[in-house]
């Protein structure tokens, strides 16, 4: 991997951060914002169809750029900005990471930076959120646009910024990065390892952050998405994009995993011990009255109040290997638990389970919806679990009424795109081209 990342941005202007004595800075601690420091809400899988979630999460389908490009989503978090600012968005933070950030900010030898892939349009709301928590980073960095209108991919932008930090702060000998996206964690590790080959004193640590997803209130989310579709449809004709409509009561049958299981898969992928998994689940869960005082349950996101659903008895699987497919799905190799003594799955001589075979489940990172197959299977990265690491995974079959987003009228695109267009850098209606011609 090359250490030089040319994205057409020139050099970063650190002078706007105020005076910093570069001779005193020995370490840099870089914090990601979304789902790392702050638990940004995701589209609720219990409300939307799979197609609707795909439309909302994509950056280049809706004219406003989708869920993570619309400042209204952050503004709608909890009970809204006016209420949440007074209570510092309580309950929406990863408090362990907040504590680490406070320590980084306190130390005079550390450059503490908040680095996000969001653009400058989010500066107002993001700075309001972190200020309410009393987090005074030396720098809050948003993705920049090149003079020619080019928007770099978030990963390349962050790597470019790392280089700029090392160029300006010459005495840094240690880097610590807090990040939640698996592909970024892997790329940062490879890039920093390559840097360490040329500079033996360039130590680094990457903290993989894994927290259960959080969601907006049902009525807030419905109103928000309706507004996003209205805004899109006003701009769509001039951008030659299709019009979309909100559709209610779509019957669907889906296979899902509970939120707690989604959290477990994520932590297992990042090699976080089981004890820490359960501690993290406990810290981010709502306790319900139970005969077992030690029983902790993660509350599932709320369902539409005016629609019904029913859940079939779940199926149990013995997880033998895990991996990922891009930043979209966790991949799970599993054996049906029927026929095995589940209490003995950790014993090597008893649980003779083929770890490289069995059923492959694709579990959506953001929603927990399970698919049985994906077209391009070459993008998987597998980690075989030792017997002591195996666990019993439950999947549920649910028939429900959900909401959907569909074409407002028949639409035939004049251009043909493949599923690889997202990673190939197709233009975003909001941000313009993501790669140079």
280-299 residue pLDDT tens: 333 333 222 223 333 333 34
How many whole angstroms separate alpha carbon 217 and alpha carbon 76? Answer: 9
How many whole angstroms separate alpha carbon 336 and alpha carbon 392? Answer: 9
308 contact partners, CB below 8 Å, separation of at least 6: 400, 401
On whether both 316 and 169 belong to a single domain, the answer is: no
CATH assignment at residue 178: 3.40.50
- Looking at the domain assignment, is residue 428 inside a domain? no
How many whole angstroms separate alpha carbon 196 and alpha carbon 407? Answer: 51
On whether both 261 and 397 belong to a single domain, the answer is: yes
Residue that terminates a domain, selected from 183, 208, 233? 208
pLDDT at 411 over 60: no
How many whole angstroms separate alpha carbon 327 and alpha carbon 153? Answer: 14
Q: In the 8-state DSSP scheme, what is residue 77?
A: S
- Looking at the domain assignment, is residue 214 inside a domain? no
**274-283 vs 259-269: helix crossing angle, rounded to 10:** 140
On whether both 32 and 180 belong to a single domain, the answer is: yes
Provide the domain count of the chain: 2
- Looking at the domain assignment, is residue 1 inside a domain? no
E strand or H helix at 230:
helix 218-239
On whether both 31 and 125 belong to a single domain, the answer is: yes
pTM: 0.75
- Looking at the domain assignment, is residue 393 inside a domain? yes
Q: Are 381 and 330 in contact (CB under 8 A)?
A: no
pLDDT at 4 over 50: yes
On whether both 203 and 264 belong to a single domain, the answer is: no
Unique residue bearing structure tokens 């267009």:
421
How many whole angstroms separate alpha carbon 65 and alpha carbon 88? Answer: 27
Number of H helices, E strands in the chain: 11, 12
Q: Is 47 exposed, middle or buried (0-12, 13-18, 19+ CB in 10 A)?
A: buried
Average per-residue pLDDT in the chain?
Answer: 80
- Looking at the domain assignment, is residue 300 inside a domain? yes
Pull the structure tokens for residue 201.
């004193």
SS3 of 15, please?
helix
Burial letters 130-141, b for 16+ CB under 10 A, else e: bebbebebbbbb
- DSSP codes of every residue in 168-198: H-TT--EEEEEE--HHHHHHHHHHHHHHHHH
- Compute CA distances 388 → 264, 273, 279, 322, whole Å: 15, 11, 19, 14
Pull the structure tokens for residue 318.
């013995």
pLDDT per position as a tens digit, 195-212: 999 888 889 999 998 777
**Interstrand relation of 309-325 and 392-407 (parallel, antiparallel or unpaired):** antiparallel
**Region 126-153 average pLDDT:** 94
- Looking at the domain assignment, is residue 266 inside a domain? yes
How many whole angstroms separate alpha carbon 269 and alpha carbon 394? Answer: 17
**Region 16-41 average pLDDT:** 96
On whether both 264 and 380 belong to a single domain, the answer is: yes
Pull the structure tokens for residue 125.
């709301």
On whether both 203 and 256 belong to a single domain, the answer is: no
What pLDDT shows up at residue 206? Answer: 94
Q: In the 8-state DSSP scheme, what is residue 46?
A: T
**Interstrand relation of 244-256 and 392-407 (parallel, antiparallel or unpaired):** antiparallel
SS3 of 32, please?
coil
pLDDT at 278 over 50: no
Q: Are 395 and 255 in contact (CB under 8 A)?
A: yes
CB atoms within 10 A of CB 300: 15
- Compute CA distances 320 → 38, 324, 332, whole Å: 32, 14, 8
- Looking at the domain assignment, is residue 31 inside a domain? yes
Note down the domain range covering 177. 14-40+77-208
On whether both 34 and 180 belong to a single domain, the answer is: yes
Half-sphere exposure of 288 (CA within 13 A, CB side): 5
On whether both 276 and 190 belong to a single domain, the answer is: no
On whether both 189 and 306 belong to a single domain, the answer is: no
How many whole angstroms separate alpha carbon 152 and alpha carbon 143? Answer: 8
pLDDT per position as a tens digit, 219-273: 999 999 999 999 999 999 999 999 999 998 777 777 888 877 887 888 888 775 4
On whether both 184 and 290 belong to a single domain, the answer is: no
How many whole angstroms separate alpha carbon 59 and alpha carbon 45? Answer: 18
Q: Rg of the chain over CA atoms, in angstroms? A: 23
Higher local confidence (pLDDT), 366 or 166: 166
Helix locations, 34-79, DSSP H: 50-57, 71-75
On whether both 385 and 302 belong to a single domain, the answer is: yes
Maximum mean pLDDT: which of 10-14, 25-29, 57-61 = 25-29
What pLDDT shows up at residue 410? Answer: 53
């Amino acid at each position: 991997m090359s250490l030089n990342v040319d994205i057409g941005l020139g050099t970063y202007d650190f002078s706007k951060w105020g005076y910093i004595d570069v001779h005193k800075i020995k370490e840099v601690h870089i914090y990601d914002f979304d789902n790392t420091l702050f638990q940004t809400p995701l589209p609720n899988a219990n409300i939307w169809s799979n197609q609707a979630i795909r439309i909302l999460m994509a950056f280049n389908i809706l004219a406003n750029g989708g869920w993570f490009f619309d400042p209204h989503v952050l503004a709608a978090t909890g009970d809204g900005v006016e209420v949440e600012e007074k209570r510092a968005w309580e309950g929406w933070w990863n408090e362990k990471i907040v504590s680490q950030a406070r320590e980084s900010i306190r130390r005079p030898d550390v450059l503490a930076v908040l680095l996000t892939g969001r653009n400058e349009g989010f500066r107002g709301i993001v700075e309001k959120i972190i200020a309410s928590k009393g987090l005074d980073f030396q720098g809050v960095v948003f993705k920049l646009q090149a003079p020619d209108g080019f928007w770099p991919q978030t990963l390349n932008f962050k790597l470019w910024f790392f280089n700029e930090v090392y160029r300006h702060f010459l005495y840094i000998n240690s880097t610590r990065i807090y990040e939640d996206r698996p592909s970024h964690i892997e790329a940062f590790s490879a890039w920093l390892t390559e840097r360490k080959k040329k500079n033996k004193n360039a130590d680094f640590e990457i903290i993989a952050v894994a927290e259960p997803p959080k969601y907006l209130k049902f009525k807030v989310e419905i109103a928000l998405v309706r507004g996003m579709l209205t805004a899109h449809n006003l701009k769509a004709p001039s951008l030659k994009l299709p019009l979309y409509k909100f559709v209610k009561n779509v019957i669907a049958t889906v296979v899902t995993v509970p939120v707690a299981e989604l959290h477990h898969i994520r932590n297992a992928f990042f090699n976080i011990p089981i004890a820490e998994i359960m501690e993290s689940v406990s810290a981010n869960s709502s306790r319900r009255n139970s005969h077992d005082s030690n029983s902790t349950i993660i509350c599932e996101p709320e369902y539409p109040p005016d629609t019904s659903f029913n859940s079939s008895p779940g199926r149990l699987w013995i997880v033998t290997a895990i991996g990922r497919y891009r930043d979209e799905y966790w991949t799970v190799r599993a054996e049906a638990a029927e026929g095995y003594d589940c209490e003995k799955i950790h014993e090597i001589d008893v649980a003779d389970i083929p770890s490289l075979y069995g059923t492959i489940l694709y579990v959506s990172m953001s929603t927990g919806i399970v698919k049985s197959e994906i077209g391009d299977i070459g993008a998987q990265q597998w980690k075989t679990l030792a017997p002591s690491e195996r666990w019993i995974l439950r999947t549920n079959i649910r028939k429900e009424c959900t909401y959907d987003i569909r074409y407002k009228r028949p639409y035939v695109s004049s251009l043909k795109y493949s599923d690889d267009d997202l990673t190939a850098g197709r233009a975003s209606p909001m941000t313009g081209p993501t790669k140079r011609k």
